[in-house]
Structure 1
Amino acid sequence: MTLRVGLLGLGYFAQFHQEAWGRIDGADLVASADADPGKQADHRSLAGLLGERLDIVDIATPPHTHADAIRAALRARPRAVICQKPFCISLEDATAVTDEAEATDVALIVHENFRFQPWFRALKSALPRLGRIMQITFRLRPGDGRGPDAYLARQPYFRAMPRFLIHETGIHYLDVFRYLLGDPDGIYADLRRLNPSIRGEDAGLVVLDYGSGARAVLDGNRLADHPSDDTRRTFGELLAEGEDGTIELTGDGALTFRQHGSQTRETLLAAATWLGFAGDSVHAFQTHVVAALTRGGVLETTARDYLATMRLVELAYASAEAKARLPVEH
């Protein structure tokens, strides 16, 4: 069975959705919709798109449109609705549409592709080699936030976001940490704005703590870069440290393991050039959805599960304001 897919929105990031759907067996992108007459869309409205008898509605429009688009898609009863992040305009908004989706037989899935980057999948498989995990640190260093023209060329709406680093970008890594280590017990955040040309924060530190003694640290700075020919391949560097060894991610996408006390590094994932976005993670995510819908399996980023990641975002901002560690309720 081939799933019929409709794409709502043809903005900057939707190009990666569109290209990836064209390479997935078992899915066929049959139509697109965008209100902008300058876009090469098949329809100018969601109503027109939903008339295509779709199995999957893929929403890649701005957050303020998400709730209404999801509700309209749910009424059309596709098998699944995929929604880009930021998921809706608030946690309350996202919770409401999640509740409504669960009252139907339509799967609501958030397009969270970072956990599908190949280095994070390989790291998850290799974590047992570390023994007791002490800390996982990701240093976010895309180097794209400098100067008065920051973000204008690619995603100019970044500049006006009152919450930026954690709400727009850091949420990916909070989700990755949940994927790797599970839900934390506490959170501490220290956030700041370095570029006066934008409205929101663009640097900061977020620490998640676990009852096991492990820590997950997001050290983010959008003005600084890291050594890579493409800083948007991995967006930064990672170090996972355990009692038995360390695993390191470098900007070329290579993942290596070093046993404690050794100077020798074993390659877990070789450096490579990938199609698509960030290790072809959009393709990997969409392939996962198709496989789960057609062959069975657990969907990883359902709307209900993603609400836990969104709650971490809210707690990060609350922690930064309070200048204190806050507990995470389970």
Structure 2
Amino acid sequence: MLKFAVIGTGFWANYQIPAWFEVGGVELVALYNRTRSRAEGFAQQFNVANVYDDVDELLDQHAAELDFVDIITDVDTHSFFTAKAVARGLDVICQKPMSSGLEAARQMVEVGHRAGVRLFIHENFRWQAPIRKLKEIIDSGVIGRPFKARVSFCSAFPVFDNQPFLAELDQFILTDIGSHILDVCRFLFGEAESLYCQTSRVNPRIKGEDVANVLLRMQSGLTCYAEMSYASILEREAFPQTLALVEGENGSIQLTHDFQLRITTRTGTVTTEGRPTLYSWLDPAYAVVHASIVDCNRNLLAGLQGTGQTETTADDNFETIRLVYAAYDSATRNKVIYLNR
């Protein structure tokens, strides 16, 4: 049984904490939140005895018994809280995106290495049931060698209603959604060798960009178009699903609404599904996202226990962060960015 503390009891803690209990093998020892009353509400809900509004006090009191901390706070605080935990020799799971800049993310990785602790990033989109099913079909070889793909997260969902701080970010959709979608592209197709990006801001009430289109050339030779938007008023709202089309030399796979995957070859089209598990604590409207947290946590726990290989280590996720900030660089300079030069 691994013991852990949660740092940050905001919106996503509502789902990450019950997802840990769904996995099992862990004990939640303490909670921190800068607004103590918020943490106290979670403590009552999940029967946690220790609540703090001072992170140093929490760590000083409990570091000796903790195996890891789970940081579920805003991106600007990730480096700060990671450093606090690492200084006590604790393994860390940190919410995505890893940090608010490429250099800050690099420093987080290096701090973990120097301290000899493990740093993992809670990147869950690649764990969504339809994305895992898509990967399984690609790897089966049924469509042959993939040469072209589109990965799409386009919506008019009012994301700023339940996460108003997002409207204040100078850099928005590439850090918030791009860190998910570009990670999905890496998961499906491997590493990129170059990219070109264009961004725009459609919503006048936000500071950052709410549309981003990224064209990636993968090391395999595949061309992948990653599109993201929170300004897309479409005939059918896809949120919170990620849609995709993968074309191969022998056929194609289309991941459509309602978790449907349509596999087309010269012999015709067959349809399969990648439906999420409906846990009792999740919101059914967001089941594809909330259920993926369980599978993400299960993989993280295997890494913490040393019984399996964790996919989203900080070293691996740093490659996703490189893509995010290379995309900003490309959009700013209107140039193709070559990643290995």
Q: TM-score, normalised by structure 1?
A: 0.90
CA distance in structure 2 between the partners assigned to 1:274 and 1:241 by the alignment = 31
Q: Does structure 2 retain, via aligned residues, the 8 Å contact 1:246–1:260?
A: no
2:89 aligns with 77
Residue in 1 that maps onto 2:66:
54
Q: CA deviation at 1:124?
A: 1.5
1:306 to 300, 317, 328: 317
Given residue 77 of structure 1, which amino acid in structure 2 is its aligned partner? G
Q: 1:230 to 1:173 in 2, by over 3 A?
A: closer
Distance 1:325 1:11 in 2: 38
Could you tell me which residue of structure 2 aligns to residue 36 of structure 1? 35
**Do the aligned partners of 2:260 and 2:271 also contact (CA within 8 Å) in 1?**
no
Paired position in structure 2 for 1:265? 270
Q: Residues of 2 paired with 1:271 and 1:283: CA distance?
A: 14
Note if contact 1:86-1:168 (Cα within 8 Å) is conserved in structure 2: yes
* RMSD between superposed Cα atoms in Å: 2.0
Q: Deviations over 1:89-120 (max 9, x none)?
A: 21111111211111223100111111111111
Which residue identity lines up with residue 228 of structure 2 in the other structure?
A: G
**Amino acid paired to 2:26:** A
In 2, the alpha carbon distance for the partners of 1:316 and 1:31 equals 38
Q: Give deviations 1:224-265, integer Å, cap 9, x for gaps.
A: 256768722x1x421111111211212212223222352x22
Q: Is the 8 A contact 2:130 2:275 kept in 1?
A: no
User: 1:27–1:229: structure 2 CA closer, same or farther, 3 Å change rule?
Assistant: farther
1:120-170 per-position Cα deviation (integer Å, ceiling 9, x unaligned):
11222211322111222122123225xxxxx44201111111111111111
Are the equivalent residues in 2 in contact too, given 1:187–1:207 (CA < 8 A)? yes
Q: Write the letter of the residue equivalent to 1:168.
A: D
SS at match of 1:23: helix
Residue 126 in structure 1 maps to residue 131 in structure 2: no
- Give the C-alpha shift of residue 86 in structure 1: 2.2
Does the aligned pair in 1 maintain the 2:190–2:219 contact within 8 Å? no
How do 1:65-214 and structure 2 match up within 5 A?
A: 65-78=77-90, 80-127=91-138, 128-145=141-158, 151-214=159-222
Paired with 2:238 and 2:216, the residues of 1 have a C-alpha distance of 28
Q: In 2, distance between residues paired with 1:273 and 1:229?
A: 21
Q: List runs of 5+ in structure 2 lacking aligned partners.
A: 41-50
Say yes or no: does 1:247 pair with 2:253: yes
Please state how far the C-alpha of 1:186 moved relative to its aligned partner.
0.8
CA distance in 1, matches of 2:315, 2:78: 15
Residue 325 (str. 1) matches residue 336 (str. 2): yes
Q: Tell me which protein shows more helix as a share of its residues.
A: 2
* Equivalent residues, number: 319
d(CA) in 2 for partners of 1:227 and 1:288? Answer: 36
CA–CA separation in structure 1 for the residues paired with 2:54 and 2:233: 40
Query: Judging changes above 3 Å, is the alpha-carbon distance between structure 1 residues 295 and 308 closer, same or farther for their aligned structure 2 residues?
Result: closer
Q: 1:209 to 1:152 in 2, by over 3 A?
A: closer
Cα distance in 2 for residues equivalent to 1:176 and 1:133: 15
Alpha-carbon distance in structure 1 between the residues aligned to 2:220 and 2:72 = 38
> Normalising by the residue count of structure 2, what TM-score does the alignment of the two structures yield?
0.87
CA offsets, 1:193-236, max 9 Å, x none? 1111111111121010124431111122212256768722x1x4
Q: Is the 8 A contact 1:228 1:252 kept in 2?
A: no
2:18 paired residue number: 19
